[in-house]
Amino acid sequence: MTIEFNITSEDRTTGARTGVLRTPHGAIETPVFMPVGTKATVKAMTPEELEAIGAQIVLANTFHLYLRPGDELIRNLGGLHAFMHWERPILTDSGGFQVFSLSKLNKITEDGVAFRSPLDGASLFLSPEISVRVQENLGADIIMCFDECTPYPASHDYVRESAERTICWAERCKKAHERKDQALFGIVQGGVYPDLREWSARATVALGFPGYAIGGLSVGEPKKEMLVALDVMNENLPRTQPRYLMGVGTPEDFFHGVKRGVDMFDCVMPTRTARNGRLYTNEGLVNIRNACYAADPRPLSETCECYTCRNYSRAYLRHLMMANEILGARLTTWHNLHYFLSLMKRIRAAIRNGTLSELEHEVLSAYHRSSALRQKPGE
């Protein structure tokens, strides 16, 4: 078994859908948010805590695990599930985004990418075949084709050459892929150019994959251009297979995505912002480091049922963050992930009930109000 995807309901007004994605390590209700566990750990959280707040699948980073501790070591210790003590599904990216983000340290050829390790400067090489081999050693349920993630802005000619290279690499990944218990997803590129997005989607689908990822967005482009690209994807990717929007995941993005047929999201946003004291609540954004919370006895959110909100005050959370205590990062991360996972659960329910537009208005209005308050003169 690799994966099986079934659509369980559709909102005819918005185009959003719910589904069940079955993998060798369990079923996933979609749309789903996947917490990012870059180095085989979701920062500050144990696997038991993640499961308790509703995480169904986590993402791990091929590039970082390839560098340290090494994919062969992880394979010899039973694979990523055993290594990180996570028994539910795992998705690994291809390492492409990280390699191409090292623009001053890499050299792109048709064969692959030569680059210098950011750890020790060693000369390394990553190709489609190597990326697949590393991911097979890691043993995730869903793995990704090696692709070139183009920066923004980039010329039409550059993005076209990059998209063509990504298709060639996808074909090589498919030939190299041997494990029958893993699903290999193709990745669509094309930048913000609708014609290249359409071409890349059609070419990737023609190769035949069990699922399709939308790459190269949320890399600095205006929101309007991202939405145009998602519209093109919605029109050109098969509706019967799962769609994964890579690296995109604010509450606003969830609504934009699901209305365009997206089933899977991941983003470091909730964990990274939590460690900086920026917290998502049903009442809007809260910067817990602000002095106004120094003596505030209330919970972070009185409408949240997470462990943090049930047990700790805003004053205590601010104290921990200002004192750089490890517990502060744990409690804020717990809250943010609980919020993101709970919001996605509410989105699934709203799609089934036909109330997605109402939920979108409720959630985003809270963020607009909190933003307006922060911008008032004298504050």
The catalytic site residues sit at 93, 266
Spatial separation of the C-alpha atoms in residues 186 and 233, rounded to whole Å: 13
Spatial separation of the C-alpha atoms in residues 120 and 270, rounded to whole Å: 30
Q: Kindly list the distances between the CA atom of residue 325 and the CA atoms of 65, 273, 280, 298, in Å, as whole numbers in the listed order.
A: 27, 16, 20, 20
Find the angle CA(55)-CA(254)-CA(217) to the nearest 5 degrees.
105
Contact between residue 266 and residue 33 where contact means Cβ atoms under 8 Å apart: yes
Contact between residue 63 and residue 98 where contact means Cβ atoms under 8 Å apart: yes
What are phi and psi for residue 180, nearest 5 degrees? Answer: -85, -10
Spatial separation of the C-alpha atoms in residues 19 and 134, rounded to whole Å: 29
Non-local (6+) Cβ contacts of 359 within 8 A are 346, 347, 350
What are phi and psi for residue 314, nearest 5 degrees? Answer: -60, -40
Spatial separation of the C-alpha atoms in residues 333 and 370, rounded to whole Å: 20
Query: Which bin fits 345, alpha (ψ -120 to 50), beta or left (φ > 0)?
Result: alpha
Dihedral over Cα of 167, 171, 176, 180: its sign: positive
Take residue 363 and report the two structure tokens written for it: 């959630």
Non-local (6+) Cβ contacts of 325 within 8 A are 319
